[in-house]
């Protein structure tokens, strides 16, 4: 079975060097690494869903302040008044 793996230049170069030092091909070194990883039988953490990631980003960092979306009318009125004040002061 053939599997393609994309590597950045730095990783590819490191793989070449390590394979050369070990006296094996790059393919053989990758095969060995995969087998070693699979034999460790470590549990991979479950992947988070997009919703779980969103929750971490947007609900985990509560500033404790009032949400601007709850004050939209007040903020828009303030912005309009400031614009008129600048215009009127000219």
The total number of structural domains in the chain stands at 1
CB 22 within 8 A of CB 29: yes
Q: Is the pTM of this model over 0.95?
A: no
- Report residue 38 as tokens: 């699979």
Identify whether 19 is part of a domain: yes
The pLDDT of residue 63: 56
Domain assignment of residue 78, yes or no: no
Domain boundaries, position 12: 7-43
In a domain, 12, yes or no: yes
Choose the weakest-confidence range: 10-14, 68-72, 78-82.
68-72
Question: What does the mean pLDDT of the chain come to?
Answer: 85
CA distances from 19 to 7, 13, 14, 65 (A): 15, 10, 9, 56
């Amino acid at each position: 079975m053939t599997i393609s793996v994309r590597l950045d230049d730095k990783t590819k170069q490191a793989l070449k060097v390590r394979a050369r030092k070990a006296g094996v091909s790059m393919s053989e070194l990758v095969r060995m690494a995969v087998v070693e990883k699979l034999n460790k039988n470590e549990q991979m953490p479950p992947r988070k869903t997009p919703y779980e990631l969103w929750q971490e980003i947007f609900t985990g960092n509560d500033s404790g302040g009032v949400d601007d979306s709850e004050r939209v009318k007040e903020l828009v009125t303030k912005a309009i008044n400031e614009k008129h004040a600048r215009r009127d002061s000219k």
